[in-house]
């Protein structure tokens, strides 16, 4: 019988997160106040985040302890299994070995609870009663709802209206875990009411939902805000993925030549790759590849400069590869990859050529997803399927070159709550949309110029 | 850090299935030919099943080897984890220890692939090109579609029309794995066409869908039929659940006082409990409890006698607790528990008082499901939630009596493809329907009397 996966007992869950800030050759430039354009301090964030998370956001300490209460909840699904994709390799006829880490085993079906759990823990410890957050298709909102239910925190989710109406499954999951879900724009906040006054049938956007959640948190003393990607502390929490994977590779006596993750805001890519990048910075020969959609080619076509995190320009300015914060391409099914920029950590590492990036169209990505489902069984999330496509391309290159190679990708979530995307693909309804260069140039002209 | 789950490496997957026929004090009475009412022989089944499965159906050999090709695919998700429900225990304030085996880790989200995989394997080995089967809400159809894709078998699924229309997610999953799905009644079979001629807007039923799938298999040489529950070989394949659980309990130095499973056709209950019943038959003090809905109270209110497996009366007559094969209660959300009878093995063991049974209304079951989701994280399938309700009741009894007790239930699947059931529950739309005794009496009058 062939060995298919490496599982680890609960006690092998990493006890510390890895902070890549300690090892980066160039630290990211500081975030700037949206008004003064001066570097922000902890006090600027304290209205919406607990001090413990703000400290993690700016820490340069290499290892940060994971609280025992968080470890006990991680154990509901962690360590996640590392799979050897024997059947996919055989179908491709590749000499490469393909491994994947499966984060869909979490109760919310993705890697997102790796950070929603500690965020809930630190907010609860700081005496916060309620969390306000936003969600697009619902992956982050459902992970925050889960975390709230496990720590006894109320959770209010502003869900982009078009998803609220069209994708009820994740909304119902959030409600099952006890969260309150408002379609955004909502009548609950000033921001929402203003938008509805001007555009009563607004379909909403992630930018609007962020503004509503931030307003809710900023205007209620007992309420904080939580973000599911981009920020340093979020990527920090996700490093349990890569840390476990390194243990699992050691157990099978292997090590990846290339580590692949899809990249929307950057949290799953950072989580899986940072522990390997630590080795790379010390001279180890390992590549890290970010996979993004051609409809949102942040790293592959964006510009490295200061931009806002949201559409309205209310968040701090961060140094990122960006397509401009007014970026608004047609919808694709990998909703989690539609962000106009990326985590400042990922962007700095890409700028320093420690990370590579490729972009694919969605039809090729869904073909890869179907090949994966038919060989490995799991139906992958549309976002995660970008990593699968990246891994298959690397494996086919190895075949052409007749080279042995070890390929490792992060399967960040399953697709069982995204089946309408598969329906559209199988019905031939998906098209590839490449975001035009001129649009990017135009959008970047609107950005503030920072000296 | 507290230990939450027991995981086992791939090599600990059981290498043999356990056949309870070897140890039953009374063997089940033989199935009878629907026409002659005489015991059927292997040749009566060979038009729709491969001989290897027919042999397993009648075998009294205690241990049956699992083929290596099946073990390699089991390893895509097996061994499944055994959880200690620390957080649920705490919420209930019970002195009891609660454990559950989680079968939702399979790519189809339930225990069903434990048998669809070997069924596909044996059919492929027998030179069969295609499998025809039926499905209600889609749990079994999706498991067979998955198995077909992994063994290169075509799969045709007749899906009850009302589910085909109202529950698209599982249909799309089947299509993603490459299966062809027909709404039943369909225009593909004589049975279907006849029904549609008489009732063009028929919503379909599981009985009709079975008739279509059996006709398809019986009229095509390269096609066989596959069933997801009830039959002996199906329950045999499911015993990997209980066999793994016994290893896992041994590792933590514990053993259940009571083993609980929901019961529709009986496959997950048989799978989890038979290895423990082997101990019970040898004198060990362990209870086994079947949990069914009060709207389909097969064991708790049915009669032990010969009945057909389908509505049309085309299948062999089997000795079962039954509500009559014309049983048709209003829909409940636990579609997998709506079968009019149960596995002959389960029924004989219940008759011999080796298994107990309880029945619950669906609102209490969903309350238990929500309590579970909010404490343990996983959103359970409506069927599996019956077992949760059973376990919670045992735990509350232990609390009342101030007794230490070890409770073990099978969490046979997750509910992420059944979220509309939760929506209806949260909106207060679910009602409890108790199937009336008079209706059962009437239905049983129509059954053939066997001397």
| Cα angle: B197, vertex B200, B204; to 5 degrees | 105
How many distinct structural domains can be found in chain A? Answer: 1
Instruction: Give me A61's structure tokens.
Output: 């300490």
In a domain, B27, yes or no: no
Contact assignment for A3 to B11 by CB distance below 8 Å? yes
Is a pLDDT exceeding 90 seen at residue B352? yes
What pTM did the predictor assign? Answer: 0.97
pLDDT, position A252: 97
In a domain, B360, yes or no: yes
Least confident of A237-251, B221-235, B238-252, B428-442: B428-442
Tell me what percent of the residues of chain B surpass a pLDDT of 70: 99
Contact assignment for A11 to B3 by CB distance below 8 Å? yes
Contact assignment for B4 to A76 by CB distance below 8 Å? yes
A&B contacts, CB < 8 Å: 155
Q: pLDDT tier at A448 (50, 70, 90 boundaries)? A: confident
In a domain, A24, yes or no: no
In a domain, B375, yes or no: yes
Mean pLDDT, chain B, rounded, equals 95
SS3 assignment for B278-337: HHHHCCCCCEEEEEEECCCCHHHHCEEEEEECCCCCCCCEEEEEECCCCCCCCCCCCHHH
Q: pLDDT tier at A451 (50, 70, 90 boundaries)? A: low
Q: How far is A248 from chain B (nearest CA, A)?
A: 12
SS3 assignment for B227-292: CCCCCHHHHHHHCHHHHHHHHHHHHHCCCCCEEEEECCCCHHHHHHHHHHHHHHHCCCCCEEEEEE
**pLDDT tens for residues A94-140?**
999 999 999 999 999 999 999 999 999 999 999 999 999 999 889 99
Q: How far is A374 from chain B (nearest CA, A)?
A: 5
Residue A181: φ, ψ to 5°: -115, 120
Least confident of B108-122, B245-259, B423-437: B423-437
Q: Which of A150, A374, A423 sits opposite B149 (nearest CB)?
A: A374
pLDDT, position B326: 80
In a domain, B154, yes or no: no
- A248 lies in which domain range? 5-9+67-109+233-444
Is a pLDDT exceeding 80 seen at residue A69? yes
Q: Which of A10, A149, A417 sits opposite B416 (nearest CB)?
A: A417
Chain B residues with CB-CB distance to A68 below 8 A? 1
| Cα angle: A99, vertex A105, A107; to 5 degrees | 160
Tell me what percent of the residues of chain A surpass a pLDDT of 70: 99
What number is the average pLDDT over the span A350-370? 97
pLDDT, position B213: 95
Query: In angstroms, rounded to a whole number, what is the distance separating the alpha carbons of residues A271 and A14?
Result: 13
Residue A303: which CATH number? Answer: 3.40.50.1100
In a domain, A225, yes or no: no
Mean pLDDT, chain A, rounded, equals 95
Q: What is the ipTM score, two decimals?
A: 0.96
Contact assignment for A426 to B176 by CB distance below 8 Å? yes
Chain B residues with CB-CB distance to A11 below 8 A? 1, 3
pLDDT, position A68: 98
The residue with tokens 């799938």 is: B213
In a domain, B249, yes or no: yes
Chain B residues with CB-CB distance to A169 below 8 A? 169, 416, 419
In a domain, A206, yes or no: no
User: Facing residues of B319 across strands?
Assistant: B306
Is a pLDDT exceeding 70 seen at residue B174? yes
What number is the average pLDDT over the span B292-306? 95
Pairing assessment for the beta strands B82-84 and B5-6 based on DSSP bridges: antiparallel
pLDDT, position B304: 97
Nearest to residue A164, comparing CAs of B321, B245, B423? B423
B253: left (phi over 0), alpha (psi -120 to 50) or beta: left
Chain B CA closest to residue A146: B377
Chain B CA closest to residue A4: B75
**pLDDT tens for residues B388-420?**
999 999 999 999 999 999 999 999 999 999 898
Cβ proximity of A290 and A390 under 8 Å: no
Least confident of A96-100, A426-430, B97-101: A426-430
pLDDT, position B446: 84
Mutation target for B interface from A75, A84, A168, A248: give the one with most B CBs within 10 A: A75
pLDDT, position B451: 67
Contact assignment for A374 to B2 by CB distance below 8 Å? no
Pairing assessment for the beta strands A406-411 and A258-262 based on DSSP bridges: parallel
| Cα angle: B393, vertex B395, B400; to 5 degrees | 95
Rg (CA), chain A: 21
């Amino acid at each position: 019988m062939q060995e298919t996966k490496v599982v680890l007992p609960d006690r092998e869950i990493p006890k510390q997160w890895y902070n890549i800030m300690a090892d980066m050759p160039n630290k990211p430039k500081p975030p700037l106040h949206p008004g003064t354009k001066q570097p922000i301090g902890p006090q600027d964030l304290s209205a919406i985040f607990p001090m413990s998370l703000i400290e993690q956001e700016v820490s340069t300490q290499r290892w940060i302890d994971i609280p025992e209460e968080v470890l006990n909840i991680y154990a509901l699904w962690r360590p996640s299994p590392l799979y050897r994709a024997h059947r996919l390799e055989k179908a491709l006829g590749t000499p490469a070995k393909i491994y994947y880490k499966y984060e869909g085993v979490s109760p919310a079906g993705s890697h997102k609870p790796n950070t929603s759990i500690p965020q809930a823990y630190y907010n609860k410890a700081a005496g916060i009663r309620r969390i306000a957050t936003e969600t697009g298709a619902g992956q982050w909102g459902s992970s925050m709802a889960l975390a709230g239910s496990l720590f006894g925190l109320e959770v209010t989710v502003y869900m982009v209206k078009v998803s609220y109406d069209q994708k009820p499954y994740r909304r119902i999951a959030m409600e099952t875990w006890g969260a309150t879900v408002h379609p955004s724009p909502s009548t609950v906040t000033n921001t929402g009411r203003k938008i509805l006054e001007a555009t009563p049938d607004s379909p909403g956007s992630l930018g609007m939902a962020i503004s509503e959640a931030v307003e809710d948190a900023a205007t209620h003393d007992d309420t904080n805000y939580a973000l599911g990607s981009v920020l340093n502390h979020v990527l920090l929490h996700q490093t349990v993925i890569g840390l476990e994977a390194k243990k699992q590779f050691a157990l099978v006596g292997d090590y990846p030549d290339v580590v692949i993750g899809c990249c929307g805001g950057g949290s799953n890519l950072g989580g899986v790759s940072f522990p390997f990048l630590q080795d790379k910075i010390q001279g180890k020969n390992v590549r890290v590849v970010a996979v993004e959609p051609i409809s949102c080619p942040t790293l592959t076509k964006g510009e490295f400069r200061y931009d806002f995190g949201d559409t309205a320009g209310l968040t701090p300015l961060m140094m990122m590869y960006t397509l401009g914060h007014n970026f608004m391409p047609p919808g694709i099914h990998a909703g989690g990859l539609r962000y106009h920029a990326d985590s400042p950590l990922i962007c700095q590492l890409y700028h320093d050529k420690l990370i590579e990036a490729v972009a694919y169209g969605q039809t090729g990505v869904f073909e890869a997803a179907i090949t994966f489902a038919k060989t490995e069984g799991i139906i992958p999330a549309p976002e995660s399927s970008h990593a699968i496509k990246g891994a298959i391309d690397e494996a086919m290159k190895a075949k052409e070159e007749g080279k042995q190679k070890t390929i490792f990708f992060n399967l960040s979530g399953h697709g069982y709550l995204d089946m309408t995307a598969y329906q559209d693909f199988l019905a031939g309804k998906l098209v590839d949309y490449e975001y035009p260069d001129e649009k990017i140039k135009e959008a970047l002209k609107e950005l503030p110029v920072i000296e």
